[in-house]
């Protein structure tokens, strides 16, 4: 076989084993996500270490002597240098071992199971309401742009997002729980609670999260559609006599999915990591409430694991947003 034939065969072999561009992009983003998560783990661990107070002294209280405090710290492994404890903690996370809670020495995995499910359920409930509502309002605002309806939608959504979550929560509790009595003020759930009853109990916190995220998604949908309505492609579709609604929904919206998907994914990530205040206000037994309780108790291992879960969820959802954006618009794989 000649050298030219060998070179041609080698080139064909390399092309055969070349990864598709979408897989290359996913692998690259995964690598960046892993590095980001590692940096976040450093910040979380040593940031928590800087919290004032001592768990052993807090548990023993005024009855604790220096000897008993030192003995409890030794039994809990708190007398080991911070960098050694970080390496042990990170190695345990990589092996799926989340460690033990300092209060009661219970496995953290046993504590997180129900709490994580409750947080994901609340975030999913809010997303099911917020995403269709925001996209629908964005389409209506784009279709009737610069009209009174457009101004009312923009003003209402921006007004809702201008207030912090705890303020919106207290207003909803005051109006719908105390004054009208339609919904409970506390979102207490149990393992045997039915699906419909759970939706009813969680309606107020879900509406709070919806009001705090709708504006971003609505405005991005509106801006993306308005940007496309001035393109020659859409002008040609309009000349065919198609109704404005069909022009927007069937032709403009599919081509505007990339930025809309990005902002939806970011807001869903916010729904997961931003539930802390809402869960505290409604005393909802989720991961955010557990995080606040653990900080007050100085239960550092639980604080670190809960923070890592929030960080991992945010990074994974941003990766998912990138992948879905490229799937909906393959031109993003080859930016100019």
Distance from C-alpha of 112 to C-alpha of 116, rounded to nearest angstrom: 6
Kindly tell me the sign of the dihedral angle through the C-alpha atoms of 203, 204, 210, 213.
negative
Model pLDDT for residues 34-58, shown as the tens digit of each residue = 888 888 888 887 777 776 666 666 6
- Quick one: how far is CA 78 from the chain centroid? 32
pLDDT band, very low/low/confident/very high, at 148 (cuts 50, 70, 90): confident
User: So what's the pLDDT on residue 24?
Assistant: 73
Question: 269 Cβ partners below 8 Å, 6+ apart?
Answer: 313, 314, 317, 318
CA distances from 73 to 68, 192, 279 (A): 9, 39, 32
Strand-pair partners of 278: none
Strand-pair partners of 100: 107
Distance from C-alpha of 323 to C-alpha of 140, rounded to nearest angstrom: 27
When pLDDT is averaged across residues 192-202 and rounded to a whole number, the result is 83
Q: Which of 317, 280, 312, 310 is nearest to 296 (CA)?
A: 280
Model pLDDT for residues 263-321, shown as the tens digit of each residue = 888 788 877 777 777 888 888 888 888 888 887 777 777 888 888 888 888 888 877 77
Distance from C-alpha of 155 to C-alpha of 157, rounded to nearest angstrom: 6
CA distances from 151 to 67, 215, 221, 231 (A): 68, 13, 15, 24
pLDDT at 134 over 50: yes
Structure tokens at 322: 């990138």
Distance from C-alpha of 175 to C-alpha of 197, rounded to nearest angstrom: 20
């Amino acid at each position: 076989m000649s050298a030219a034939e060998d070179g041609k065969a080698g080139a064909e072999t390399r092309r055969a084993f070349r990864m598709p561009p979408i897989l290359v992009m996913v692998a690259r983003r995964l690598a960046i996500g892993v590095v980001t998560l590692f940096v976040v783990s450093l910040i979380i661990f040593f940031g928590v270490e800087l919290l004032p107070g001592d768990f052993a002294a807090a548990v023993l209280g005024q009855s604790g002597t220096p000897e008993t405090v030192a003995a409890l710290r030794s039994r809990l492994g708190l007398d080991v240098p911070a960098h050694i404890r970080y390496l042990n903690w990170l190695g345990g996370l990589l092996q799926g071992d989340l460690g033990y809670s300092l209060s009661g020495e219970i496995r953290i995995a046993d504590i997180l199971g129900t709490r994580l499910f409750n947080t994901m359920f609340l975030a999913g409930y809010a997303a099911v309401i917020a995403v269709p509502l925001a996209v629908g309002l964005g389409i209506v605002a784009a279709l009737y742009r610069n009209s009174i309806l457009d101004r009312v939608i923009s003003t209402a959504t921006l007004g809702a997002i201008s207030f912090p979550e705890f303020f919106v929560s207290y207003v909803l509790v005051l109006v719908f729980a105390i004054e009208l009595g339609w919904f409970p003020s506390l979102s207490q759930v149990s393992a045997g609670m039915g699906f419909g009853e759970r939706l009813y109990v969680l309606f107020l916190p879900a509406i709070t999260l919806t009001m705090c995220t709708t504006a971003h998604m609505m405005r991005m949908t509106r801006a993306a559609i308005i940007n496309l309505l001035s393109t020659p492609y859409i002008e040609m579709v309009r000349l065919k006599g198609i109704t404005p609604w069909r022009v927007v929904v069937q032709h403009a919206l599919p081509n505007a999915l990339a930025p809309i998907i990005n902002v939806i994914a970011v807001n869903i990530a916010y729904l997961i990591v931003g539930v802390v205040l809402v869960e505290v206000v409604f005393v909802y037994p989720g991961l955010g409430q557990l995080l606040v309780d653990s900080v007050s108790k100085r239960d550092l291992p639980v604080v670190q694991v809960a923070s890592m879960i929030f960080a991992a969820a945010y990074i994974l959802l941003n990766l998912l947003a990138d992948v879905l954006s490229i799937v909906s618009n393959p031109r993003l794989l080859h930016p100019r």
